[in-house]
Amino acid sequence: MRDNGAPNGIIEDITVIYFLRFLKSLCIPLLPLLISTIITLPVQPGVAESNHPEFVGTFACKACHEKEYNSFMQFSKKAKSFESIEKMRKGLTEDEIKKCYFCHTTGYGSGGFISPEKTPHLKNTGCEVCHGPGGIHVKTRNPGNIKKRIAMEDCARCHIAERVRAFRYKPLIHGGGH
Ligand code: HEC
Ligand code: HEC
Ligand code: HEC
Ligand code: HEC
């Protein structure tokens, strides 16, 4: 049915044309932004690939959590875990040493520790082995951006059954941190 005398087809065409113009006017200002996003994405492969926030290292937590920081640095062996590798370095091949990194450093193989030279702030096992990468949390200060609920499975990644038996101790959920 026609009510204004114009053929339906034309009305539809006009609607489509206006809609496309509207889209264009919307997209042109956004285009540079879109392009720059596409260009910069591959520049941060770690972030883009894993979708993980960055590891920032234990010292970055000090400013706001001094109590936990001091207690950790003073009492936890984790804060000196790289020394344990150094002590045994003689007689180990480079490949064998890399296997130690998984447990004795922060975030090795998942966007964290690379080498003592490149990532000195991540060379010991720090806060983030339990609380997860803190890159977003240190900026937002939002407790929602950091892991608080920690389960035994989180510890078992490094405190593997074999090791627990060998050392005759079962890690306590509140031990080893602060
Ligand atoms: C710029 C300040 C700031 C820095 C740096 C910071 N935090 Fe926080 N964090 C906060 C605030 C604020 C809270 C919420 C109040 C509180 O619990 O003290 C919080 C809470 C937390 C909580 C409790 C979360 C919850 O659900 O209650 C944990 C765990 C935590 N932070 C860990 C860390 C770790 C690990 C680092 C270092 C990687 C860190 N924070 C660095 C400000 C900071
Ligand atoms: C990324 C690996 C890793 C994770 C995850 C981890 N630990 Fe550890 N932990 C270590 C290493 C490595 C040491 C030994 C450091 C050294 O002596 O060189 C250690 C040492 C300890 C010790 C020995 C005593 C001390 O004061 O340090 C306790 C207890 C402990 N961890 C408890 C825990 C608990 C509980 C959890 C989970 C909430 C946990 N750990 C998660 C790697 C880890
Ligand atoms: C699967 C995780 C894991 C790997 C891999 C690992 N460690 Fe450990 N290491 C631990 C944990 C957890 C502790 C502390 C708790 C314990 O004593 O069981 C520890 C403790 C140590 C200690 C202190 C022992 C003591 O009696 O205080 C030394 C030294 C050490 N590791 C050296 C190494 C070296 C060197 C490598 C690599 C060849 C290595 N570790 C690989 C998890 C690991
Ligand atoms: C071995 C694991 C482990 C490490 C390493 C660790 N924490 Fe924790 N952290 C915990 C556990 C477990 C809790 C208690 C969570 C709960 O209440 O359920 C906790 C709680 C916290 C809280 C919340 C305290 C509260 O009263 O609500 C803060 C803040 C925090 N940790 C900061 C840090 C900082 C900063 C570091 C490094 C200096 C660190 N943690 C290292 C295991 C760890």
* Cβ–Cβ under 8 Å, residues 61 and 127: yes
At 66 the pLDDT is: 98
102 within ligand 3 shell (Cβ under 6 A): yes
Which residue's CA is the closest to the ligand 4 atom numbered 10? 177
Question: What pLDDT sits at residue 108?
Answer: 97
CA 146 – CA 128 distance, rounded (Å): 9
The pLDDT value recorded for residue 43 is: 41
Tens-place pLDDT, residues 26-59: 445 554 444 454 444 444 443 444 456 899 999 9
Whole-number Å distance, alpha carbon 13 to ligand 4 midpoint, is 63
What is the whole-number distance in angstroms between the Cα of residue 74 and the centre of ligand 2? 14
Separation of alpha carbons 171 and 150, rounded Å: 13
Distance CA 148, CA 90 (A): 38
Query: In which residue ranges of the chain is pLDDT below 70?
Result: 1-52, 163-175
pLDDT at 7: 52
Q: Which ligand is nearest to the CA of 81?
A: 2
pLDDT score for 161: 78
Confidence (pTM):
0.82
- Which ligand does the CA of 168 lie closest to? 3
58: nearest Cα among 45, 47, 44, 72: 72
